[in-house]
Structure 1
Amino acid sequence: MGPLLLVVVVFLGFSVPPYLTFDPSLSRLPPPPGNHVYYPLLVAHVLFGTVAMVTACFQIWPAFRNNHRRGHRLTGRIYVFAGVLPAGLLGLYIGWHTAAGPSVRVANLVGSALWLVVTAIGLRAARQRRYGDHRRWMTRSFALTMSIVLSRVVNTVAMIVLMPQVDTTFLGSAELMRYSAASIGPWLSPLLLLLLADWLLERRKPGAARPA
């Protein structure tokens, strides 16, 4: 849990403060011209997403989950109703109005919808006392919650790798290169983390093959 908490703290410490000023000029996502509700909704999305990331860490923390069952249920409700649900719904609006091009728009819409659906399935399983299914679906929800962190890293790497190809692959268009680089993270990061989550879930199944 230590490395995970450190990553979350560093990411939030870098990403969130500009939005706490409520100054649109400091936004890393410029609002579309003439859209006056985009920035307030973006700030709300960031804040609800922060709640989701912090409470998600408590949800998967084995010692907290096993020793503080009531706390686990409480943080779980906060994670869903004050984190994923509002952040995901706002993400649909923010994603639709992104200025980063159609590929990022579709990736954000698909990611937000998938985040909401996976979390809702996990919540339903808990209410039906299917705790094994609940844990599996909430593990996937956690992977989607943390995909934003990996996405930033992937986008940076993609920008570095694609920059020398501006004059060849992108026919001299630096803007096209930036759009292409920005679209890789939102697609690749959720996919990688979901695959990792399911691989770990398969390894932890009773009777799963263990290395000799």
Structure 2
Amino acid sequence: MTTTEVRRPKPWVRRPWVFPLGLLVTAFLVFSLPPYLGLDPAQSRIPAPTGWYYPVLVTHIGFATVAMVTCALQIWPWLRQKHPAVHRRTGRVYVFAGAIPASIAGFAIALAAPFGPVGAVSNVLLAILWFGCTVQGYRMARARRFGDHRRWMIRSFALCMSIISNRIWGVIWVMVLTPQLDTTFGGSEVALGQAIAGITTWTGWVLPLLAAEWWLGRGRRRAAA
């Protein structure tokens, strides 16, 4: 591209994922949030194993909701190109009122979650990686290393939205493993539930993160070519 040429933003029709992503996030939140809006532990979809678990769970859900909404806005190319100041402000909201507090609260509830040690290890790693990728992305933006900022924030985005992938994989593993209740799991519903939860949590965030790394590698290969 010569110095006289101007790079024009791609039209929205060439970003076909923007609208479906917003719709998916909206549908997920509309389905997931109502049981927790009344702050009634009896309505929780996750049984609280300790007295402090439910308040921290609600705290995590609240900050994670902010993270999902602002994260969807952050990767909207039109907003980033046409309104960079709004992009910066929503980015700070995502970091400081979304991802960082949500990952810290997520780390705490992962340690006490009633889904067995396999799921606990997965969720602890997820919280650590989400926190680390977000902080690194913010540091790169502050250093004006915007290429590195974009790469770290794509990873943060993949980890943030992995909760949606988690729900999809949960349904799949229920269908795959439930018929094995009397064979593989010896009739133990507890063992079956922990296996489903453990495999779901790992596939829920590992596969989106691998997809993000593939996407980033694809971009580097394209640039090299």
- TM-score, structure 2 as length reference: 0.89
- Root-mean-square deviation over aligned CA pairs: 1.0
Match of 2:223 in 1: 207
Q: How does 1:30-179 map to 2 (within 5 A)?
A: 30-32=47-49, 35-179=50-194
Q: Which protein shows a greater Rg?
A: 2
Give distance in 2, aligned partners of 1:38 and 1:163: 28
Q: How far, CA to CA, are the matches of 1:208 and 1:56 in structure 2?
A: 29
CA distance in 2, matches of 1:29, 1:169: 25
Deviation at 1:202, TM superposition (A): 2.1
Deviating more after overlay: 200-209 vs 95-104: 200-209
CA distance in 1, matches of 2:223, 2:144: 23
Of the structure 1 ranges 78-87 and 163-172, higher mean CA displacement relative to structure 2 is found in: 163-172
SS in 2 for 1:204: helix
Give the distance between the partners of 2:224 and 2:178, measured in 1 at CA.
44
8 Å contact from structure 1 (residues 18, 27) kept in 2: yes
Matching residue of 2:10: none
Displacement of 1:208 in angstroms is 4.8
2:152 is paired with a residue whose SS is helix
Rounded to whole Å, the distance in 2 between the matches of 1:106 and 1:141 is: 19
Instruction: Give the distance between the partners of 1:208 and 1:157, measured in 2 at CA.
Output: 38
Cα distance, 1:50 vs. partner? Answer: 0.2
- The offset of 1:204, in angstroms, is 2.3
What's the CA shift for 1:155?
Answer: 1.1
Residue pair 1:159, 1:181 contacting (<8 A) in 2 also: yes
TM-score (norm 1): 0.95
Instruction: Give the letter aligned to residue 80 of structure 2.
Output: R
The reply to whether residue 2 of structure 1 matches residue 19 of structure 2 is yes
Give the corresponding residue for 2:40: 23
State how far apart, in whole Å, the 2-side matches of 1:78 and 1:186 are: 26
1:13 paired to 2:43: no
Identity %: 49
Which sections of structure 1, spanning at least 5 residues, go unmatched?
none
Q: Deviations over 1:10-40 (max 9, x none)?
A: 11011111100100001011111xx322111
Aligned equivalents of 1:130, 1:28: Cα separation in 2: 42
Q: How many residues align?
A: 207
Structure 1 residue aligned with 2:198? 183
How far 1:171 sits from its partner (Å)?
1.3
